[in-house]
Amino acid sequence: MIVPGYRDQPTEQWDPVAPVDPGEAEDFLRRCYLENPRLGPVEPRLAIVRAQIAATGSYVHTTEELSHGAKMAWRNAGRCIGRLYWKSLLVLDRRRARTADEIFSLLVRHLQTAGDGQLRPVISIFAAAQPGQPHARVWNEQLIRYAGYRDEDGRTVGDARQIGFTSAMRGFGWRGKGEHFDVLPLAIETPAEGVRLYDLPERAIREVPITHPDYGWFTELGLRWHAVPAISNMRLTIGGVHYPLAPFNGWYMGTEVGARNFADADRYDLLPTVAARLGLDTSRESTLWRDRALVELNRAVLFSFERAGVKMTDHHTESERFLTHLRNEEKAGRSVPADWTWIVPPMSGSLTGVFHRYYEEMDLRPAFYLDDEAISLARDGSRCPYPHP
């Protein structure tokens, strides 16, 4: 079944009851120790891990294994164009946190560590799922997202993608201001406490007001966007161990905001507004008013982040960097899984080098997966994988 806006990706069906697969553990450990000679010989470690799995159904990663495993998962993420920097990932080991309060304060620390200008890629890894036992999770798809509302006349305020999630939060008693850029609360679920909502403190939320280098009226649109994209509902799997709560962030490529979040008809849908302000002829598609508005919107986004001193990349630069990454990986003797439909930027595709070639899609592990239940919780707070009939 195809749910608009939530495309499938290659995903293993995770069986939360099954013990860790010793073959997958061995495969990961051999690769990890091969890539990091300073960790010493893998054989003694394999013996320990096999015994741990036999006795408990799982095993515990060392800090180095966790850290390198997370980097490998990023390296294997076929939809990410920003993988040149995979080695620079900062891995925060948060496996001891248990309560929602603890988790929340570490999520705030995560956002602060990611920075508010010169951003750095960070992942916080919380406790591994134990086979057959409930685990902690965050319902939100990202740590920072804007609420969406439908008013009485059926008009949308805010991010239309978040309407279902926003009304779930309202069901728990949360009230937003009802404006276009209300940051949603975090819904943190733990086995002992159920779901608890937390408002992020302002110090954890860096935002950039959007202005245009040439058009003064752009300010009047009242647009803004948050500095840090931090995916919070993907499961990290390393060597057969699953980490259902492992939020990670990088920095934005301008088109994610300018060509998707602001432009998609089922998001902020701003192209008609921008075109009207530009005085474009919108009576026919062939005037390319959409394309012209799209370029100005994207110029504004890149200009604003640059002016605010918040790290953001453009799609031309990032395409070249991805091609460099492909060359690096080839030299290292590794293959790079990549999904063309995600790697090619959503505007001016053929102007970028990544457009003019094909890629292999492979399900390599360690990996990040988006489970059906995680999709559903982020969509409307329900555990049903598909919309209610």
CB of 216 closer than 8 Å to CB of 4 = no
* 80 is a catalytic site residue: yes
Residues within window 116-145 making contact with ligand ARG, judged by CB under 6 A: 142
Place of tokens 């102007």: 351
* 32 is a catalytic site residue: no
Q: Does residue 345 come out as left (phi exceeding 0), alpha (psi in the -120 to 50 range) or beta?
A: beta
Place of tokens 């003019």: 356
At its nearest, how many Å lie between ligand ARG and the CB of residue 109? 19
Catalytic pick among 80, 206, 207, 299: 80
CB of 126 closer than 8 Å to CB of 242 = no
Q: Which region, judged by CB under 6 A, interacts with ligand ARG, from 20-28, 106-114, 179-187, 251-259?
A: 251-259
Q: Which region, judged by CB under 6 A, interacts with ligand ARG, from 35-43, 44-52, 247-255, 302-310?
A: 247-255
At its nearest, how many Å lie between ligand ARG and the CB of residue 173? 26
Distance between CA atoms of residues 41 and 59, nearest Å? 18
Alpha carbon distances (Å) from 142 to 185, 273, 336, 378: 11, 27, 26, 9
Q: Which region, judged by CB under 6 A, interacts with ligand ARG, from 12-20, 106-114, 244-252, 342-350?
A: 244-252
| Angle, in degrees to the nearest 10, between helices 271-278 and 289-308 | 100
- Exactly one of 250, 258, 345, 381 binds ligand ARG (CB under 6 A); which one? 250
**Is residue 252 within the footprint of ligand ARG (CB under 6 A)?**
yes
- Exactly one of 236, 253, 280, 378 binds ligand ARG (CB under 6 A); which one? 253
Catalytic pick among 45, 251, 299, 373: 251
Q: Which region, judged by CB under 6 A, interacts with ligand ARG, from 59-67, 176-184, 246-254, 345-353?
A: 246-254
Distance between CA atoms of residues 151 and 363, nearest Å? 42
Q: 280 or 338: whose CB is closer to ligand ARG?
A: 338
Place of tokens 């304060």: 105
SS3 239: coil
* 137 is a catalytic site residue: no
Burial per residue of 75-87, b for 16 or more beta-carbon CB atoms within 10 angstroms, e otherwise: bbbbebbbbbebe
**Is residue 256 within the footprint of ligand ARG (CB under 6 A)?**
yes
* 320 is a catalytic site residue: no
224: which 2 tokens? 């803004």
At its nearest, how many Å lie between ligand ARG and the CB of residue 294? 15
Q: 29 or 377: whose CB is closer to ligand ARG?
A: 377
Q: 46 or 323: whose CB is closer to ligand ARG?
A: 323
* Strand ranges inside 75-177, DSSP E: 90-94, 122-126, 137-138, 148-150, 156-158
- Exactly one of 237, 261, 298, 304 binds ligand ARG (CB under 6 A); which one? 261
At its nearest, how many Å lie between ligand ARG and the CB of residue 184? 13
Q: 58 or 233: whose CB is closer to ligand ARG?
A: 233
Catalytic pick among 31, 45, 75, 83: 83
At its nearest, how many Å lie between ligand ARG and the CB of residue 79? 9
Q: Which region, judged by CB under 6 A, interacts with ligand ARG, from 177-185, 256-264, 294-302, 369-377?
A: 256-264
157: which 2 tokens? 């305020």
At its nearest, how many Å lie between ligand ARG and the CB of residue 1? 23
Q: How many residues bind ligand ARG (CB under 6 A)?
A: 11
Instruction: Write the single-letter amino acid at 271.
Output: L
Instruction: Write the single-letter amino acid at 65.
Output: E
* Strand ranges inside the chain, DSSP E: 90-94, 122-126, 137-138, 148-150, 156-158, 186-190, 194-198, 207-209, 224-226, 230-231, 235-238, 241-243, 248-249, 252-253, 312-313, 367-369
Q: Which region, judged by CB under 6 A, interacts with ligand ARG, from 24-32, 94-102, 254-262, 353-361?
A: 254-262
Which residue's CB comes closest to ligand ARG? 250
Give the DSSP letter string of 286-302. Answer: GG-HHHHHHHHHHHHHH
Question: Which residues participate in catalysis according to the annotation?
Answer: 80, 83, 251, 256
Q: Which residues bind ligand ARG (CB under 6 A)?
A: 82, 142, 229, 231, 250-253, 256-257, 261
